[in-house]
Structure 1
Amino acid sequence: MSHPPRMDPRLAQRLGAKRAALEARRPLPPDVLRVLHADLQVRLTFHSNAIEGNTLNLRETQLVIAHGITIGGHALKEHLEATNHAAAYTAMVALAEASPPLTLAQILELHRLVMDRMLAEAGQLRRGAVTIRGAQLVPPPAREVPALLEQWLAWLETEGLQYEPVTRMALAHHGFLAVHPFLDGNGRTARLLLNLLLLRAGYPPALLLQEWRLGYLEALAQADRGRYNPLLNLLGRAVEIGLDLYLDACAATPDEEWLPLSLLARDTPHSAAYLALLIRKGRLAGTKRAGHWHSTRAALARYQAEVAAGSVPRGRPPGS
């Protein structure tokens, strides 16, 4: 490793503080976990698929997953990507709750769910050469893939344990993508595995935003050259979004604390539409109730504090 990975100290401090705050609230109430996972199933499906080029927006993704609605102007493949990833997310959460180490069979099952009805080789390791779009790294020959995956799995339980969890997950994420074990669906499977490992380590799922796509690809390219800090910091920010979502949900357990955005907006310079945009971008915790976004005063205060501290962008669209 050319440069030992080191997270930005300010980010590392925030993650440590938020992780400790979350640990103090465990075990989380089952109803809170149900709401969180229903929300994250849609969010992670939308963002992971959008990174790969799917054009369904967040609302359309939710309609496809929850109601099986066909969205006009979108190919069948995009609908399958949504329902498949949602099913794979549910399976990932179930796997995360089990204690045995990750296995090759579990990886293959997640890939099968991700690529069901879209790839004849769903759930199978590739038997031919592949390229990584936009990357200089050349994946290894297919004949080496089984052994490399076994080495990757062993690393998680041996050498990888020398790193704190988020660093370990960042290195593992890049290592898996470098092997590129499947003909297609490597990125989505890798991001599900990232979150499976985070959940097993006691973290919430990381929310890697589709707006970060170019930065994500560049960070992976830097990791190909042995420079892991950009990837570690980017994934650290994704973990922080997940921590914020969990903490905000814990703070808003009573139903009366979830307020419609039209009411919350009265206490801010922002419109309800802009607050909804923040929720869709993963910057403000929120949940859908009766088809309308709700958030909490605690979540809004957290967002405003992070804007004031410079942790999130300050800009807002016209008319907000």
Structure 2
Amino acid sequence: MKITIIGGSGFVGTRLLKLLEESSCTLQNIDKRQSLSYPKITTVANVLDKEKLVSSLAGTDVVVLLAAEHRDDVSPVSLYYDVNVGGMRNTLKAMEANGIKRIVFTSSVAVYGLNKKCPDENHPADPFNHYGKSKWEAEQVLQKWYQTHSDWNINIIRPTVIFGEHNRGNVYNLLRQISSGKFLMVGNGNNKKSMAYVGNIVAFLEFLITEKTAGYNVYNYVDQPDFTMNELVEHVSKVLKIHIPTTHFPLWLGMSGGYCFDLLAFLSRRKQTISSVRVKKFCATTQFSGEKMLQSGFKAPYTLGEGLAKTLEFEFYN
């Protein structure tokens, strides 16, 4: 079987290629950037170039579409829709031209929007930002496509925030702040945060490729059980063998400090590391249901605690 990963030069794609190279599959990576880890199997091409996609996908059996614009500061915002939605359309047309009928697509829990109570896969979509909106539009393109291509196999994964070794995203920044010893806990710390370790994400993608070979399937991905912020701080302290102050500051005091930084950012015209929005997000419960994934037969190779420990030891201990 030949598996082509579109957008495989990044964080998740590199880990997925590393996992899949242990199998007997033939692998190909298509990305606008050359892969530092897998240059020999990488075709440099943009998902917006339909003709290049058509020629590059020849002989492929399964497509894994990871390519996306996902940063918070993408400009112009039309790029979200050009890449995430237009790239989906180009991929489907290139697949059809090559007789390929299997695709695994990485969407996002961002399609649910903010402040939802542990939404499952049947929860109405309500994205609040351009990233979430463009991911939902891409899913709608897939839904419409399946109506006229019922013999296709379409698998969609909606992961929560992903962390792991070599990633410099939101979870890394939070872990770095906690481990620095300068961490301030705002609120009671009982709010829970859904997270996903990259080692489990790529294992689930492999599971979808090998086990879910028919129909249209949508799965949230969350490593469960979720940690509270108190449990997360305790885990970081245990893994790194350091004492982390556990003084709790009331939400009103934290928000007041956030508003002060908002004012400073406005007056200085410079972004600050702290803001009222970030304080509010920190204190919010952000949970998503992973029940359907748990019932699929998939067994995560790592617990959430093990994934965090591997990341902490790699980034801050060794």
TM-score normalised according to structure 2 size? 0.31
Q: Which has the higher helix share?
A: 1
Q: Which has the higher strand share?
A: 2
TM-score normalised according to structure 1 size? 0.31
State the structure with more CA Rg. 2
Q: Which has the higher contact order (CA 8 A, sep 6+)?
A: 1
